[in-house]
Amino acid sequence: MHDLPRLLAFADTLADAARGAILPYFRASHAVANKGGAHFDPVTEADQAAERVMRVLIEREFPDHSVLGEEYGGTLAREGYQWILDPIDGTRAFIAGLPTWGVLIGLYHDGRPLIGVMDQPYLDERYRGWMEGANCTARGQTQALKTRPCASLSDAIVSTTSPDLFEGEEALAFARVRDGAKLIRYGFDCYAYCMIAAGHIDAVMESGLKVFDIAALIPILTGAGGGVCAWDGGDASGGGRVLAWGDVRVRDQSLALLAEDSGIYR
């Protein structure tokens, strides 16, 4: 059996350390580099400092655990415990001074999600999840997280970080879901997933995610009563095309629209 209290407490320790490393850089002058590629892909001193301090703590406390991080690499493990780190998810928001980025700390065991933390240091909000529950501590108050009921996609608030994530058949599939929803919101990165867990929005759609983009969020969504799946309804724990949902009815209606007249699975 997993020692969940100890592991969750240690995830809090990692989040505290990342806060200390990141906050001095937020809305302050600091170096920003471009990783390259077709679109501007920034990395900051804050990203690197936060991952370094978390890696040091993991090595000290759990030397037999492996680590996969956005800034300093690693390989997804299929055995044992592995911490999966995205020190700043939403770096574009970070450098724009917007408080919708977050520190993502996931723990997999034998390749499967176990616990996750999304910490928003500037807002003093921390979302924790394990596969049987989830909570949020904000400004000193801790409350359980619970997704809200939503009977129909036509009543749903749906989010994605950017419509530019989707091209070709993906863009057409996303448009069908977007057009069927009550409201679409853009630009919130990991924060939008936690708003599903907190019962404020109903679904998030993304494409091209890496494992460190989603590892921490799966236990938060699952523990709050929702879930995360691939666009074909399968496993999303490795990233790729992801649908996060708070009510299975929104999930099922969204999956049907994604598959309709679509070549993305052929």
Query: Which amino acid would we find at residue 86?
Result: D
Those residues whose C-beta lies under 8 Å from the C-beta of residue 17, and which sit 6 or more positions away, are 50, 53, 54, 57
Residue 59's alpha-carbon distances to 41, 55, 64, in angstroms, are 29, 6, 8
Structural domains of the chain ordered from first start: 4-144 (3.30.540.10), 153-259 (3.40.190.80)
Are 145 and 223 a contacting pair, CB within 8 Å?
Answer: yes
Q: For residue 42, what pLDDT is reported?
A: 78
Q: For residue 39, what pLDDT is reported?
A: 65
Q: For residue 261, what pLDDT is reported?
A: 65
pLDDT over threshold 90, residue 104: yes
pLDDT tens digits, one per residue of 183-215: 999 999 999 999 999 999 999 999 999 999 999
pLDDT over threshold 90, residue 36: no
Share of the chain above pLDDT 70, in %: 95
Those residues whose C-beta lies under 8 Å from the C-beta of residue 243, and which sit 6 or more positions away, are 203, 204, 205, 228, 229, 230, 231, 236, 251, 254, 255, 258
- Arithmetic mean of pLDDT, 121-127: 97
- Could you give the CA distance from residue 254 to residue 174 in angstroms, rounded to a whole number? 9
